[in-house]
Amino acid sequence: EDKVVQSPLSLVVHEGDTVTLNCSYEVTNFRSLLWYKQEKKAPTFLFMLTSSGIEKKSGRLSSILDKKELFSILNITATQTGDSAVYLCASYSGAGSYQLTFGKGTKLSVIP
Amino acid sequence: EPEVTQTPSHQVTQMGQEVILRCVPISNHLYFYWYRQILGQKVEFLVSFYNNEISEKSEIFDDQFSVERPDGSNFTLKIRSTKLEDSAMYFCASRAQIDTEAFFGQGTRLTVV
């Protein structure tokens, strides 16, 4: 059974802190790993990682994939209250149309 | 910016009733999906649809569920006889190509009473 595990499940930090969110995966026919931010309803896309060791960056957010260790991290520097959300890690797996297998998410709360 | 649109945003239905959840995927996308998220739990895959047919479905997607793309733009999920445990947020998603990111709609919160 495909599995995506995120840690920690929740995290409370102060504005300005740097956080690292973790994601490990065990999936058949791995294609890529994705990070989403879920604030109220829809998951919104952050990154898609396919190759090991190549960091993807967008503003204060960055992410990297380690295909040998089956692991990815999402870093957020200089956190702001607007970063408060659930961060979802998901992997494309399976055959054919490649559905996403999601982790439980990390709930990040940034307090002023 | 193109987006996936879902209607209604919230639906309350009585147990045993049929419901249809509607989605308009992004126009040039080829792959369509339904996922659900029961309150407090993780997002779960239900079904994928490509080339006008179901390509994969999960164990959750039993005979009570069906999907349709009736007119080339809408993508619907029908639950024939709803159960209490069908109460969840249902997300529609679409993808342009096989190795691109999936974009999600805002979801339909289904409450079965």
Chain B nearest C-alpha distance from A102 (Å)? 6
Q: Is residue A104 within 8 angstroms of chain B, CB to CB?
A: yes
Q: According to the model, what pLDDT value does residue A1 have?
A: 83
Measured between CB atoms, which of B55, B58, B106 is closest to A42? B106
Distance CA A54, CA A65 (A): 7
Number of Cβ within a 10 Å radius of residue B59: 7
pLDDT tens by residue, chain B, 113 residues? 789 999 999 999 999 999 999 999 999 999 999 999 999 999 999 999 998 899 999 999 999 999 999 887 899 999 999 999 999 999 999 999 888 999 999 999 999 99
* Structure tokens belonging to residue A104: 């439980």
Strands (E), chain A: 3-7, 10-14, 19-26, 32-38, 43-49, 56-58, 61-66, 71-76, 85-93, 99-102, 106-111
Check CB contact under 8 Å for B56 and A96.
yes
